[in-house]
Amino acid sequence: MTVVPDSGSWPKISFEARMATVEFRVGARPHITVDGEICRSCTTRACVTACPANLFAPTASGGILFNYEECFECGTCYMVCNHEGAIRWTYPDGGTGVVFRRG
């Protein structure tokens, strides 16, 4: 990693590289499901920016695409969601999901 000596700048790190520092034991079952139909009518879409793992992606057709594989299991998305039933949130199956080594 090249480091810019000026204290103001940091080497740009891609989100993918950022997430690659985290261990995930991806389970077979998606533990969070998103009802794209409900999301279509949502104007706030708080989940899209608030999710620290950046797992919610708006689609061209006005829906929301969600990928459970690299989830921190933090709970931010269902807490900030103001549309009842849009996010069905459970823990991943035992032993799967995120493994923090330096939390």
Partner 1 sequence: MADRRPDRPDRTLRPHGARTRGSVAPAAATPAYAPVDVDVDVDVVVVGAGPAGSAAALALARAGRSVVLVERGPFPGAKNVYGGVVYGRVLDSVIPGWQDEVPVERWVVRRSTMVMTPSQSVSIDYRSEAWGAPPYNGMTTYRSRFDAWLAARAIDAGATLVPSTVATGLLRDTAGRVTGIRTDRPDGDLTARMVVACDGVNSFLAKEAGLLPPADARHHTLGVKEVLALPPEVINERFGVLSDQGVDIEMLGCTRGIPGGGFLYTNAETVSVGVVVSLPELAASKVRPEELVADVKRHPSIAPYLRGASLQEYSAHLIPEGGFDAMGPLATDGMLVAGDAASMTLAAGLWLEGVNFAIGSGLAAGRAAHQALAAGDTSARGLASYRTDLESQFVLADHQRLRRAPGLVLSERVQQRYPGLICDLADGLFTVTNPVPKPGLVRIARRSARRHGVSLADLARDTLRAARVFR
- Applying CB under 8 A, the residues found at the interface with partner 1 are 1, 3, 5, 7-10, 13, 15, 17-29, 44, 46, 49-50, 52-54, 72-76, 78-81, 90-103
End-to-end CA gap in the chain: 23
Residue 48 in contact with residue 58, Cβ under 8 Å? yes
Place of tokens 């709970």: 75
Give the shortest CB-3-to-partner 1 separation in angstroms: 5
| Smallest separation, CB 66 to partner 1 (Å) | 16
Taking the least distance from each CB to partner 1, the nearer of 18 and 40 is: 18
Identity of residue 4: V
